[in-house]
Amino acid sequence: MKITINESAFKAILEYEKRHGMRFLKEDDANGRLDKYGNPIPRNGQGWGKDASLVNRQGYNQDGTKGPWFSRSVAVATAVLLHDTGGNHWYILANQRGSGAADYQGYWNLPCGYLDYNEEATEAAAREVREETGININPSELKYFGHSTSPNENRQNVIFFYVAFIEGEEAEYPFSKKDMEENEVDGIQWLPIERADSLKWAFDHDELVQRILSKYSHLITGENNTGLTPKDKISKVIELLRNGGDTDYAIELLQSLL
């Protein structure tokens, strides 16, 4: 289906592509789509135009000549959960995208970004947390949460999701902007988890946060297995595995039966 856009929208898409280092499609192929926030979706991996076969993986330069072969980028996003043992409160680390961010300025997100050359995914996750918030996380302590390879989400990025758990008071983990790019981040906060839905999130991170909080609800609520019968433990393990729950907790329950 061909989608026709007006001149101002087309210029916005060109500017968006320029800011992201994208190559331009031919002007007579000025067909594009917007995401749910109204931002143009760049046409890099799965383009739109008169002939979809021409722009599917082969891009065009602004002068109409064929550009480079497009491939997909790899990114990471990390949820850092702080357990304030003094008051028994839980917080999640969030930062607000500044005027220097490529998109979604003013929205909030979990620390995220792209892998550098010669970098492991966990190293990239820890680096992005440090650069965007000043909080230091040991890459070896990150828990793999999942990944997304859908070509219909987040500009076709392949994304790995991680979770880190830390304990202490907020004051023990001060924020810093010394390692971040200029105007990349406006604000940083330890957000109480019960207020996780109060922010305007970028990249559907609101849904990601809720999935993470659901998976690790037993840690957040302080649930333990001391009062569970063997039958209850087996039922809990089945529930965790069936619903994509915390596999570490499932293993702990099974080990307690030995």
Q: What gap in Å lies between CA 110 and CA 206, rounded to an integer?
A: 9
Q: For residue 74, is pLDDT > 50?
A: yes
Of 88-97, 126-135, 147-156, give the lowest mean pLDDT range: 147-156
Query: What are the sequence ranges of the domains in the chain?
Result: 7-69, 74-213, 224-256
Structural tokens at position 236: 């809990």
pTM exceeding the 0.85 threshold for the entire prediction: no
- Confidence check: pLDDT of 20 > 60: no
Residue 22's nearest CA partner among 63, 78, 64, 70 is 70
Give the CA dihedral 86, 87, 92, 96, nearest 10 degrees: -100
105-118, pLDDT tens digit by residue? 999 999 999 999 88
User: In degrees, to the nearest 5, what angle opens at C-alpha 253 toward C-alphas 247 and 258?
Assistant: 125
Q: Average pLDDT in the 201-226 region?
A: 84
CA distances from 221 to 8, 218, 247, 253, 255 (A): 50, 5, 17, 17, 21
Burial 199-224 (b: 16+ CB within 10 A, else e): bebbbebbebbeebbebbebbeeeee
Distances (CA, A) of 226 to 119, 232, 256: 42, 11, 9
For the residues 116-135, what does the mean pLDDT come to? 94
pLDDT for 100 equals: 87
pLDDT at 143: 92
Residue from 65, 19, 74 nearest 45 by CA: 74
SS3 of residue 113 by DSSP: strand
Q: What is the DSSP pairing of strand 112-114 with strand 143-148? A: unpaired
Mapped onto helix, strand or coil, the DSSP state of residue 69 is strand
- Which segment of 39-43, 123-127, 235-239 scores lowest on mean pLDDT? 39-43
Q: Which CATH class is domain 74-213?
A: alpha beta
pLDDT of amino acid 26: 39
- The model's confidence at residue 65, banded by pLDDT at 50, 70 and 90, is low
Residue pair 115/76 in contact (Cβ under 8 Å)? The answer is: yes
Residues 217-258 have pLDDT tens digits of: 877 777 666 667 777 767 777 776 777 777 777 777 677 766
Predicted confidence (pLDDT) per residue in 139-182, tens digit:
999 999 999 988 887 778 899 999 999 999 888 898 988 888 88
Percent of the chain surpassing pLDDT 70: 68
* pLDDT at site 73: 87
Percent of the chain, pLDDT > 90? 38
